[in-house]
Amino acid sequence: MASNVRNQSEKIKFAEPQLGPLSQIHTGGDAEFLVRPTTFYQLQAALAFANAEHLPVTMLGALSNSLVSDRGIPGLAVHTALLNRMYIQGSLLVSQCGTSMDLLIDYAIENGLGGLERLGGLPGTVGGAVYGNSGSHGLYTADHLYWIDYLDREGNLIRMRAHSEEFSYRHSPFWGNEGMTIYEVAFQLEPIIRTNEARVEKERYKAQRRATGQYSHPSIGCIFRNPEGESAGRIIDSLSLKGTSIGGAMISPEHANFIINRDGTATSDEVKALIDLVKATVWKERGITLVEEIRYLGSW
Ligand SMILES: Cc1cc2nc3c(=O)[nH]c(=O)nc-3n(C[C@H](O)[C@H](O)[C@H](O)COP(=O)(O)OP(=O)(O)OC[C@H]3O[C@@H](n4cnc5c(N)ncnc54)[C@H](O)[C@@H]3O)c2cc1C
C-alpha cells in the first residue's frame, strides 16, 4: 500500500521519516510519510494528497511539546520548519507557521516592534505556540495575535480573527481540531524606539531559562498543566519524585514538571510510563488528577 501511494504522488517530495532526531526529547519512531514543505503550494499539495488517499495528517512544529509514539505516526506528518518567512506590515508582524518563536521575537525587536519579550527563549514554532497558546511570565501567545490563516481539510485558506475569549491557558480553537492547519499568523505589536531595552529584557528572560537548567537535557517542557490555583511542579516536588527514573527517562532533578532524556537512551514508552507513575502517585497521595499539557502524537 505504501509504495502504491508513493507512486501516485510524484509531485510530493518525501523526507527521511525518522522523527526521533526532530523531537526535542529525542525519542519516537518514524512517520509513514514525512514532508517538509517550503511554500504554501507545497503544503496545500501535501494536504490534498493526504485527503485523496484518506491518510490522517499530523502537523509537527519543533516537537518541543509533543511525545511521538515509539510505533511512529501513521499517515502524513508535515514538518513545518521550512515554512519560516516573516514580514512586517505597519505594526503587524506576519509569520508562516514554522518560524521559531525566539527568532520571531528577535526579528520584531530588530524592526522596532515590541510586546513579546517575555516569551524570550520559548522553544518551538509559531504554529505550535498558537496551537497550545503557549505562554510565560503572564504573557500568552494569543495576547498579541491579530489573525490566523489556516487550511481546512478541503485545502481552503480561511482567515480567522483572533478573539481573546476563544483562547485560554494552553488552549486555542485549534486544540484537538486536527483538521485545521495553521499556515500563517499576524501579531499586533507595539512600535518601540528603545529596541536596546527590549533586547536586554528578552535576553534576560531567555537567560533565566538557561540558569534554571531548562535547556540542559532533552525534554518537552512542562508535562502537566497547572491545576487551578496550584503548581503541578510544586505538587510533584512535594512528593519527592524529582530524580525518579524509568529506563532513560527521569523526572528532572531541577524542575519537577519536566521529564528529561537523561543519557539519550530513553524511549517514548518510558517517558509515558513515568507520566503514568506521576499521575497515579499524585492521585493516591493528594487526590488531584493531573492533566497533560503535552500532546501525544502517533499510535498510542
Ligand atoms: C525547555 C522547554 C521550555 C518550555 N517552556 C515553555 C513555556 O515557558 N511555556 C509554554 O507554554 N511552553 C513551554 N514549552 C513547551 C513548548 O516549547 C511550547 O508549547 C511550544 O510553543 C510548542 O511549539 P512546537 O512547535 O514545538 O509544537 P509541537 O510540539 O511541534 O506541536 C504541538 C502541537 O501543535 C500542533 N501543531 C504544530 N504546528 C501546527 C500547525 N502549523 N498547525 C496546526 N497544528 C500545529 C501539533 O500537531 C501538536 O499537536 C517548553 C518546552 C521546552 C522543551
Place of cell 528603545: 194
Strand, helix or coil at 174?
coil
Provide the CB-side half-sphere exposure for 77 (13 A, CA): 27
Q: Is 298 in the pocket of ligand 1 (CB under 6 A)?
A: no
Write the pLDDT tens digit of every residue in 259-268. Answer: 999 999 999 9
Q: Which three cell numbers stand for residue 276?
A: 503514568
Percent of the chain with pLDDT over 90: 92
| Across 285-291, average pLDDT | 97
Place of cell 531548562: 214
Q: What is the pLDDT of residue 178?
A: 84
CA quadruple 251, 297, 276, 279: dihedral sign: positive
| Across 149-169, average pLDDT | 93
Answer for the pair 220, 262: CB distance below 8 angstroms, yes or no.
no
| Across 267-283, average pLDDT | 98
Q: What is the pLDDT of residue 2?
A: 47
Write the pLDDT tens digit of every residue in 166-208. Answer: 999 999 999 998 889 999 999 999 999 999 999 999 999 999 9
Amino acid residing at 104: L
Task: Please tell me the distance from the alpha carbon of residue 196 to that of residue 90, in angstroms, as a whole number.
Answer: 20
Integer-rounded Cα radius of gyration of the chain? 20
pLDDT for residue 103 is more than 70? yes
E strand or H helix at 89: strand 86-89
| Across 205-228, average pLDDT | 96
- Centre of ligand 1 to C-alpha 222, Å, is 10
* Strand-pair partners of 114: 190
Q: Please enumerate in sequence order all residues whose Cβ is within 8 A of that of 62, keeping only pairs 6 or more positions apart, or say none.
A: 22, 24, 81, 100, 123, 124, 125, 128
Write the pLDDT tens digit of every residue in 31-78. Answer: 999 999 999 999 999 999 999 999 999 999 999 999 999 999 999 999
- Centre of ligand 1 to C-alpha 1, Å, is 32
Q: Is 131 in the pocket of ligand 1 (CB under 6 A)?
A: yes
Q: What is the pLDDT of residue 12?
A: 87
Q: What is the pLDDT of residue 3?
A: 46
Task: Please tell me the distance from the alpha carbon of residue 50 to that of residue 2, in angstroms, as a whole number.
Answer: 12
293 is catalytic: yes
Answer for the pair 293, 224: CB distance below 8 angstroms, yes or no.
yes
Place of cell 508535562: 223
Structural domains of the chain in order of their starting residue, each with its CATH number: 2-79 (3.30.43.10), 86-210 (3.30.465.10), 213-297 (3.90.78.10)
Q: What is the pLDDT of residue 102?
A: 98
Task: Please tell me the distance from the alpha carbon of residue 82 to that of residue 99, in angstroms, as a whole number.
Answer: 8
pLDDT for residue 25 is more than 90? yes
pLDDT for residue 150 is more than 60? yes
CA nearest to 134, candidates 65, 235, 37, 67? 65
User: Which residue of the set 170, 184, 262, 295 is catalytic?
Assistant: 170
pLDDT higher at 4 or 138: 138
Place of cell 495553521: 182
97 is catalytic: no
Q: What is the pLDDT of residue 75?
A: 97
Answer for the pair 43, 83: CB distance below 8 angstroms, yes or no.
yes
User: Which residue of the set 32, 117, 222, 270 is catalytic?
Assistant: 222
Answer for the pair 288, 230: CB distance below 8 angstroms, yes or no.
yes
Q: What is the pLDDT of residue 262?
A: 96
Q: What is the pLDDT of residue 154?
A: 85
pLDDT for residue 1 is more than 50? no
Q: Which three cell numbers stand for residue 280?
A: 497515579
Task: Please tell me the distance from the alpha carbon of residue 282 to that of residue 280, in angstroms, as a whole number.
Answer: 6
pLDDT higher at 244 or 2: 244
- Centre of ligand 1 to C-alpha 288, Å, is 25
